[in-house]
Structure 1
Amino acid sequence: MVPVSWVQSINPVFIIALAGVFAAMWTRLGSRQPATPVKFDLGAIVMGLAFLPFLLMPEGANQAPLLALYFLFVALGAITVGLLVLVFVRPIRRLMAGVH
């Protein structure tokens, strides 16, 4: 069985690995990046789709524990991607100042 601490560290590993990629992507897009509502929509869609692997998981944990861990890894990775789409919407200071 996999220790709980390993499963709890999946999300932070994805965030550390992908935060720079998303920051570079939004920076590189510059003024061509999608509007804030579109980014929220993309994030919500990706996070919604991230729950599909849970439907495909084997029913019992005893049947294929490594396969269940793989599905959990994929689902948490997709949820993290959805969150990272939302995180890099706009700097909070600019939003609070009313500068768009």
Structure 2
Amino acid sequence: MSFYLEVGFSAEAVRPKSTNTVPIVKHYVMDYLVFRWRNEIADDVKPFEIQKWLLSLHKDNGLAWTTVAKIRGIMHRVYKIGILHERVSKNTVGLQGRTIQ
């Protein structure tokens, strides 16, 4: 996931990020995605595991659904960048669909 931060926020990024966006996305990546998934191999993570985790972010961590949706979107982009750079073979986030509310 640190690869996503390097590639997605570098000078070669497809779209430049606003100065407000960079620290917020880094916070979500480091404090939620890396904290939870750092010891997992991305291709081995199951869609249902992601769905349960996203639900727990709302129920156990008290995050608003809009925040959970942002984290899901960032995780989706992490996988897309991983596919583009041949680091993963599939986007598991795209396979899990919407979180049950």
Whether TM-score is above 0.5 comes out as: no
Q: Which has the larger radius of gyration?
A: 1
Query: Using CA pairs below 8 Å that are at least 6 residues apart, which structure has the higher relative contact order?
Result: 1
Q: Please give the range of the TM-score, normalised by the shorter of the 2 chains.
A: 0.3 to 0.5
Looking at secondary structure, tell me which structure has more helix per residue. Answer: 1
